[in-house]
Structure 1
Amino acid sequence: MPRNEDNARDEHFWQTVARRYDVEPGPINLENGYFGRMTHRVMEAYQRNIDFINRSNSVHVRQHFDQIGIADIRADLAELMGVSDQAITFSQNATASLQALIRNYNRLQPGDQVLYSDLEYETVKSALNWLERYRGVQVIRIEHAHPASYETLLASYQEAFVRYPRLKLMALTHVTHRTGLVMPVQAIVEMATEHGVDVILDGAHALGQLEFDLPTLGVAFAGFNLQKWIGSPLSLGVTYIAPERLADIDPDMGETHFPLTDIRSRTPHSTPNIPALMTLPTVFAEHRELGGAAGKGARLAYLRNLWVSEARAMPGIEVLTPDDPRLYGAITSLRFTRQADQQRMAERLLNEYNLFTVARSGSACGPCIRVTPGLTTSAQDIDQLIKALAELGG
């Protein structure tokens, strides 16, 4: 199974992996960061579960799923994540998890400060701005130096912690959705803890492609997606709260379906996508068969490095994501330096080279084009990208 760099280069193996997925004819998809594909096996299980729940309706759900099924699935996910099942609960997606954590964090007083950087997801920024309006806190906004390095990223936060002594809470994205920069989470959390600052981690792009251990990272609060690199049906995310910190997050809007000691009270209670949840054991089995985050991550980093190693030397192309292996994963962004409109260049990649990418803006380093290979991406697809960049960058 693909667990190291040698296996990551094995095109024959990854062709067999690609055959587990249906791919619609059309452009080469280099925007796999939006959401992931399900394998044939997962799709078939999902359809069976939709059919079954539609037939059995509440009889099965009330008698089995609500009592036993969901508990077993939750325990399976906890094992995969290396945490207690009492520390996690399901949500619609990472955004829903992060919004619930932010709005229900109860340790803020008027006049306290909260922090985010230019690289956070827009919904996370707006949630922290909401705290300013409704909780009377001050929002501190910082920008990271470009080009970024491990040292400059740590320096940005160290400076903020010293300059703003009333900081109590900050958002931190593990893998930034704009440039793909992987933040040095453990080191930042250690500094934050020394200054009495809690961290809410946005792990939307991390779970499934990066190897990490939440207790080692020191993170107490986090939100994740199962629908990106884990490969679940859409509509599934995870909320994580370290058990010893559960009291610092209030039940969501007075939620009473679960006891105060149960993390499930910290998210809205509603009827979930039951067939999708029932499909998760198959999803987790497939994820493990592909080598888990180690196997997937090695392959994605290999594909990333194929095009980045060429693009670094190209005139008219700037690669925005560092080559420090601690600071990148699948996603890496670039800019056509001789062109002002990056959206137009993304359109040219599509129309002239059959390559689907996405333009991004909002970070201090400026507009860019995000390139994200996936598990169905081949080295040949990357060769097409290299050819396009060489011709359009000149």
Structure 2
Amino acid sequence: MGNRRGFLKMSASLAAAPLIPESSAVSNELDIPVSNKRPHELARDEAHWRAVGRLYSIQEEIINLEHGYWGQMSIPVEQALARHTHRVNRELSWYARREYDRDFLKARAAVADALGVSVEELMLTRNATESFVNLITQYDELSSGNAILWADADYPEFKRMMSWLAESRQVRGTMLSLPAAGTDEDYIRIYREAFDALPDLKLMLLTHVSNQHGLVLPVREIAAIAKCRGIHVICDCAQSWGLLDFTLDDLNVDWAVFNLHKWIGSPVGVGALYMRHGTLVPVRPFPGEDSSDTDVANRVHLATSDFASFLTVPDALAFHRAIGGANKQARLNYLREAWVASLEGSSAVEVLGATGSKNASGMGAFRLRGQTSKVQVSALQTRLETEFRIFTVVRNDLASGACIRVTPQVFTPLEHVQALADAIVEISVTG
């Protein structure tokens, strides 16, 4: 960044500015199909989603049901990235030192606006992992006798980082084993019991949507219980924003980390860190940064990063808004429901991630019943890919064992998830 003090002063001036064009205007400009149908109805309109799919460059040689690694940019967003890259590469430091800080702040403010928070509460980062590392390494309220908490369904690297934090700060680290499928009441009870068992619990990781099997946790309720007990909560929203349609008011957490390059559809290398007003003190500023506690920006230092990716964020948000966050969630959930429903009643297949719609996302997972080792599940993934041309991914970090994660995109046609269900049934019957 250029002048950090000037950068922070600009934050307030953008707080009330219109940041993203109205979705109807963007839809007209980009030829995005518009419908008056409710999200639940629109989710089943294959013609609508085929039209949306024409705005993506889609791989045809395989059925790709592994869109959880990162999200595909639409063609308009990809073109915007190319324009921004060309400008940065052409104008170089002339642009970067004179105008980039203001343009970066506009991108930052657009994300804050979309999440319903002030620009001073949200800073762009390169990914959720960077945001998470800044929080735990700069967290300053752990002492001997304290405890920290995480769960088996959390992101594997975050689990390892929490274990490192416990060891390096010499505090008690505890990992919960969550049911591979359950209800809100199940998960609230498990976390409440953990809080009761850990009276000195100081810091916890709480994942909104698990990257293992798509489980949605009742974050708002669990975080409220934690807050009443003085427990600081880091909410991992890396997989949830855009997969689910929400703002931070819906979660009511003080700290959260995000990826925009998954379900918002930004270029790879864009994340965010949220810290609610009044909660910055327990997390020290990044080394060498301004010591104030009024703006989350000083908890991060981006150094020289991908200018063009950050400049493309408003374009990605405009496209996301034009498609409709609620429409995307409904479509993705519908696709999961379609393949899961085809397997209901099968004694040979175990579906993971949710027992009801409240805990389900568009991401899901399965395994053959009784086959939970990584070797067994990897063999199943290989068969799907080589025999049926269906690409999925093995996840191996749940306490209950390995599974295959299934992650369609909004443009995935219904017949692709039906092909998956047919393949699973065939494999389960023929062995």
- Which one-letter code corresponds to 1:286 in the other structure? F
Q: Secondary structure at the match of 1:362?
A: strand
Of 46, 62, 66, the residue aligned with 2:81 is: 46
Corresponding residue SS for 2:361: coil
Paired position in structure 2 for 1:73 = 107
Question: Does the alignment pair 1:329 with 2:361?
Answer: yes
Whether 2:233 is the aligned partner of 1:195: answer: no
**Which of 266, 283, 293 is 1:232 aligned to?**
266
CA RMSD of aligned residues (A): 1.5
* 1:208 has 2:242 as partner: yes
Q: Note if 1:276 corresponds to 2:294.
A: no
CA contact (8 A) 1:222 1:240 kept: yes
In the aligned structure 2, how far is the partner of 1:63 from the partner of 1:164? Answer: 52
Matched AA of 1:279: T
- Partners in 2 of 1:139 and 1:204 — Cα distance? 22
Residue 150 of structure 1, CA deviation:
1.6
Q: Is the 2:388–2:423 contact (alpha carbons within 8 Å) kept by the matching residues of 1?
A: yes
* Structure 2 counterparts to residues 1-394 of structure 1, below 5 A: 1=34, 4-66=39-101, 68-252=102-286, 254-256=287-289, 259-292=292-325, 294-337=326-369, 339=371, 341-394=376-429
Q: CA deviation at 1:128?
A: 1.4
One-letter identity of the residue aligned with 1:344 = A
TM-score of the superposed pair, with normalisation by structure 1: 0.96
Deviation track 1:300-327 (CA, whole Å, cap 9, x = no partner) reads: 0000000101112234111112231110
1:259 shift after superposition:
4.8
Letter in 1 for 2:254: A
Write the deviation string for residues 142-182 of structure 1: whole angstroms up to 9, x where unpaired: 11134422221111111111111010110011000111110
Task: Report the AA paired with residue 386 of structure 1.
Answer: A
The answer (yes or no) to whether the contact 1:174–1:185 under 8 Å persists in 2 is yes
Percent of residue pairs bearing the same amino acid type = 36
Cα distance between partner residues in 2 of 1:89 and 1:363: 31
**Structure 1 Cα separation of the partners of residues 292 and 227 of structure 2:** 29
SS of 2:365's partner is strand
Which segments of 5 or more consecutive residues in structure 2 lack a partner in the other structure?
A: 1-33
8 Å CA contact retained: 1:315, 1:393: no
Deviation, structure 1 residue 388: 0.3
Q: Is the 8 A contact 1:116 1:172 kept in 2?
A: yes
Q: Which residue of 1 aligns with 2:13?
A: none
Unaligned stretches of 5+ in structure 1? none
Amino acid at match of 1:25: E
Rounded Cα–Cα distance in structure 2 between residues aligned with 1:244 and 1:259: 11
Please list the CA deviations of residues 305-354 of structure 1 after superposition, one character each: whole Å capped at 9, or x if unmatched. 00101112234111112231110111111011264601100110011111
Instruction: Please say which of residues 100-109 and 258-267 is displaced more in the overlay.
Output: 258-267
Contact 1:258-1:264 at 8 Å conserved across structures? no
Give the Cα separation in 2 of the matches to 1:114 and 1:176. Answer: 19
The two structures have a TM-score, normalised by structure 2, of: 0.88
